[in-house]
Homo-oligomer: A and B are copies of this chain.
Amino acid sequence: MKKILFFLVLTATQIIHSQVLVSPSKSVQATFRLTASGQPVYAVSYKDKAIITKSALGFELKDLPALQDNFEVVSTATRSFSENWKPVLGEVASIKNEYNELKVFLRHKSDNKLLNIVFRAFDEGIAFRYEFPKQDNLNFFVVKNELTAFNLTGDHKTFWIPGDYDSNEYVYLETPISGIDVAKVDTDNGIGAPGRLEKYRVQTPLMMKSKEGIYINIFEAAAINYPVLHLDTDVKNNSFKANLAPNAIGDKAYLQTGFVSPWRTIMVSNDARDIVASKMILNLNEPSKLEDTSWIRPMKYVGIWWEMHVNRGTWNYADKYETDVNKLIPNGKHSATTANTKHYIDFAAKNGFDGVLIEGWNTGWEEWTGNWKEEVFDFTTAYPDFDVKALESYAKSKNVKLIMHHETAGSVANYERRLDRAFTFMKDNGYDAVKTGYVGKIIPRGEWHDGQTMVNHFNYVPQRAAEYKIMVNSHESVRPTGVSRTWPNYIAAEAARGNEFNGWSVGNPPAHETILPFTRLLGGPMDYTPGIFEIKMSYYDPKKTEQVHTTLAKQLALYVTIYSPLQMAADLPENYERYADAFQFIKDVALDWDDTKVLEAEPGDYITIARKAKGKEQWFLGAITDEQARETTLKLDFLTPGKKYQAIVYEDGPAADWEKNPISYKIRKLTVTSKSKLNLKLAAGGGAAVSFFPL
């Protein structure tokens, strides 16, 4: 269902003052106008309260006059739009995309350059973007700076991470806008070498909450051929300004007219659940460019991965690098062996998993990191103890798919020039999913993960992969901006601080996973790799003090609260076998959904989500809390009325505590209907996971 309700064009003479755009329910409003000097500005209000006050729009261009003021409005156009579309994989079976749109056609009076600004008002917030239409006076051009500003109305609480151009893998800090200061960030928190940091620069999505209890989120959608959006904070004036990662020579974006910028988004609600449930970011992306999507499917997987994080094995086969594979001297600790892979395949097959990821299968790991080495991996040469052909047969016989790992070490030049060969090798050996990795400084040297060149790369790989019918899960990539709508084989990304940090660093504090749905997850599925049951690393080595900062039950809940059609059961098979009753939830939980209900949400505190499995009368619920214990009573009115379900509740034991007693859990079964209520007690750093199977 797609309908355009009306379309109205006003000529310049009809424009008296400002242009106002309201959302379908009229709760959200955007205002556009030109100032006396011809500067384009906008404002946003929510239920008649100012959210964004008069804020600048425009650009500085290289070697050209700035598109900053001296504009006139040529004309405006408005339209209303409503459609429902079905994601290939998603949180809901059908997504409603409904907005009113205002398009302002501007002319820069001094040089006749044309710039359009398009506003869309959704009920969850405002989005706008810049259009550089084809025009006689401008073809190729270079953006020096984007001038977009976001002037807030108060010193709101913010959940922020530093504006590192190279990494999103930070713990969120919770401060007022006035308290934003990158000097407060513990850069020794597991990030080896942070990229460029600035004292007041933060990343988007930036989640905020006003003193009046209004939730505001600044983000972007459809970052294509353009750097992703960082924000420079004016800590005195509650204000942010767009900041873009430069390329190697200091420019921000090389563009050609006919270009549309990413959408800048301001989501707003007095109910935090609206932010989490919003599909605005996806809606602002283009529909799928893939016609045949039959080969794109959700995947639950295990992998040769966590055992290296806990020092049970190594990615590298030898301790010393040799160009000639045959000269490598095995260190005896290599994890990605044929035998070990078969062990994982057996485990996956026995437990109904779709796939097995193998990291460290290919040559190059002896010198992979920290050297800024260009020819670091070739993506087609296996270590001598990894028999690609034998494993292809074995996996096939067990009906399990192998997931290939392509670590690039940031050497994108090397990866791109080998990409066709790498994908051909995958298809020749039965792989149809790849986990990519971008640990380290980028090559071409001088580029950043968040710059235009790399944004293009991260969008390019899934497009190229689609030609081979390969699904992509990127790690250490730029954070996504809903582009998985357009390239649905881009099934997941990391692009935030994942569970792995708990294995070998100060880790992720208990609040971390309650913030992700308000930030990183707005852009698309995250491969967080939950499911760590052996919470404390002292299990592996008594000297270790690192641990996962959740209870075991919360690890289960994450399979529901963190949406992804690709979910790993990250722990070792032996640990799952030891906690087989709890493992049952991971085996049961769905990956693709007909419906999603955000039952409770408060960023930094807690979140509770229920989801209905795609095409099945099964529901799964996850509830998590931060470092505070929490009790909640949930109405189960999301269940189909008149049906009886067996609810299996995986919850924290009475004395559970993420720090002191994290593995303590209990499982209870009860019969429920849509009229039932469910009481859940979450330990400090705890959670609960519930399956609902129809009786």
- Chain A residues within 8 Å of B, Cβ to Cβ: 139-140, 247-249, 251, 254, 256, 367, 371-374, 413, 416-417, 419-421, 444-447, 453, 456, 460
What residue of chain B has the Cβ atom nearest to residue A418's Cβ?
B420
Within the assembled complex, what's the spacing in Å between the Cα atoms of A445 and B453?
Answer: 10
The answer to whether A249 and B445 touch across the interface, beta carbons within 8 angstroms, is: yes
CB of A445 within 8 A of CB of B248, answer yes
Question: Max chain B CB contacts within 10 Å: which of A247, A251, A446?
Answer: A446
Q: Which residues of B contact A254 (CB under 8 A)?
A: 372-374, 445
A140 adjacent to B420 (CB under 8 Å)? no
- Is the Cβ of B248 less than 8 Å from the Cβ of A444? yes
Whether the pair B140, A372 counts as a contact (CB closer than 8 A) is yes
Q: Which residue of B lies closest to A421 (CB)?
A: B420
Which of these, B249, B371, B417, contacts A419 with CB under 8 Å?
B417
For the complex, give the distance between the alpha carbons of A257 and B446 in Å: 23
A421–B421 alpha-carbon span in the complex (Å):
10
Could you list 7 examples of A-B contacts with CB < 8 Å? A247-B446, A248-B248, A248-B445, A249-B446, A254-B445, A256-B373, A416-B416
* A374 CA / B460 CA spacing, docked (Å): 13
Report the Cα distance A367→B248, complex, angstroms.
24
Which residues of B sit under 8 angstroms from A413, Cβ to Cβ?
413, 416, 444, 453
Check if B251 sits within 8 Å of A445, measured CB to CB. yes
* A379 CB, min distance to chain B CBs, angstroms: 13
CB-nearest residue of chain B relative to A414?
A: B416
A371 to B255, CA, bound (A): 10
Query: Measured between alpha carbons, how far is A421 from B467 in the docked complex, in Å?
Result: 12
The interface residues of chain B lying within 8 Å CB-to-CB of A373 are: 140, 254, 256
Q: How far is the CA of A372 from the CA of B373 in the complex (A)?
A: 27
Nearest CB of B to A158, in Å? 33
Residues of B within 8 A of A460 (CB): 417
**Min CB–CB distance A442 → chain B (angstroms):** 10
**Which of B247, B367, B371 is in CB contact (< 8 Å) with A445?**
B247
> Least Cβ distance of A507 to chain B in Å?
31
A544 → chain B, closest Cβ, in Å? Answer: 29
Q: Could you say which residues of chain B place their CB within 8 Å of the CB of A419? A: 417
A419 to B418 Cα, complex, angstroms:
9
A336–B237 alpha-carbon span in the complex (Å): 62
**What is the distance, in angstroms, from A679's C-beta to the closest C-beta of chain B?**
56
Q: Which residues of B contact A367 (CB under 8 A)?
A: 139-140
Nearest-neighbour CB distance to chain B for A416, whole angstroms, equals 4
Bound Cα distance A337, B374 (Å)? 41
- Shortest beta-carbon distance, A337 to chain B, in Å? 27
CA–CA, A421 to B413, complex, Å? 16
Compute how far the CA of A329 lies from the CA of B249 in the bound complex, rounded to whole angstroms.
36
The smallest beta-carbon distance between A252 and chain B, in angstroms, is: 12
A419 CA to B256 CA in the complex, in Å? 25
Chain B residue nearest to A446 in the complex (CB): B248
Contact partners of A251 in chain B: CB under 8 A: 445
A140: nearest chain-B partner, CB-CB = B371
- Report the nearest B residue to A424, measured CB to CB: B420
Q: Which residues of B contact A417 (CB under 8 A)?
A: 416-417, 419, 460
CB distance from A250 to the nearest CB of B (A): 9
* Interfacial chain B residues near A456, Cβ < 8 Å: 374
A446 CA / B249 CA spacing, docked (Å) = 6
CA gap between A140 and B460 in the complex, in Å: 30
Residues of chain B lying within 8 A (CB to CB) of residue A444: 248, 413, 444, 446-447, 453
Distance (Å) between the CB of A180 and the closest chain B CB? 29
Residues of B within 8 A of A453 (CB): 413, 444
**Chain B residue contacts of A371, Cβ below 8 A:** 139-140, 256
Given contacts A413-B444, A444-B447, 5 further A-B contacts (CB under 8 A): A248-B444, A249-B446, A254-B373, A254-B445, A420-B421
A249 to B248, CA, bound (A): 7
The 8 closest A-B pairs by CB, nearest first: A444-B444, A248-B248, A248-B446, A416-B417, A420-B420, A140-B371, A249-B446, A249-B445
Tell me the bound Cα distance from A413 to B139 in angstroms. 22
**Bound: A67/B419 CA distance, A:** 38
A127 to chain B, nearest CB (A): 25
Q: Which residue of B lies closest to A371 (CB)?
A: B140
A467's nearest neighbour on chain B, judged by CB, is: B421
Q: Which chain B residue lies CB-closest to A251?
A: B445
Q: Which residues of B contact A248 (CB under 8 A)?
A: 248-249, 444-446
Bound together, the chains give a CA A460 to CA B417 distance in angstroms of 10
CA distance A420 to B467 in the complex (A): 14
The minimal Cβ–Cβ distance linking A546 to chain B, given in whole angstroms, is 29
* Bound CA span A249–B413, Å: 16
Report the bound CA distance from A456 to B374 in whole Å: 11
* Interchain nearest-CB distance for A73 vs B (Å): 29
**Least CB distance, A420 to chain B, in whole angstroms:** 4
* Chain B residue at minimum C-beta to C-beta distance from A416: B417
Chain B residue nearest to A423 (CB atoms) is B420
Collect the chain B residues with CB atoms within 8 Å of residue A372's CB.
140, 254
Q: Which residues of B contact A140 (CB under 8 A)?
A: 367, 371-373
Across-interface contacts of A447 in B (CB, < 8 A): 444
Chain B nearest CB, measured from A439 CB (Å): 16
Q: What is the bound-complex CA distance between A254 and B251, given in angstroms?
A: 24
Shortest distance from the beta carbon of A435 to any chain B beta carbon, whole Å: 20
Residues of B within 8 A of A420 (CB): 420-421
**What is the bound-complex CA distance between A247 and B441, given in angstroms?**
15
- Whole-angstrom CA separation of A447 from B444 in the bound complex: 9
Question: Which B residues touch A139, using CB under 8 A?
Answer: 367, 371
Min CB–CB distance A428 → chain B (angstroms): 14
A656-B444 Cα distance, complex, nearest whole Å: 54
A248 to B246, alpha carbons, bound, how many Å?
12
Complex Cα distance, B446 from A486, in Å, reads 31
Measured CB to CB, the closest approach of chain B to A446, in angstroms, equals 4
Distance in Å from the Cβ of A409 to the closest Cβ of chain B? 12
**A689 to B453, alpha carbons, bound, how many Å?**
52
Q: Report the minimum CB–CB distance from A146 to chain B (whole Å).
A: 19
Give the distance in Å from the alpha carbon of A417 to the alpha carbon of B247 in the complex: 19
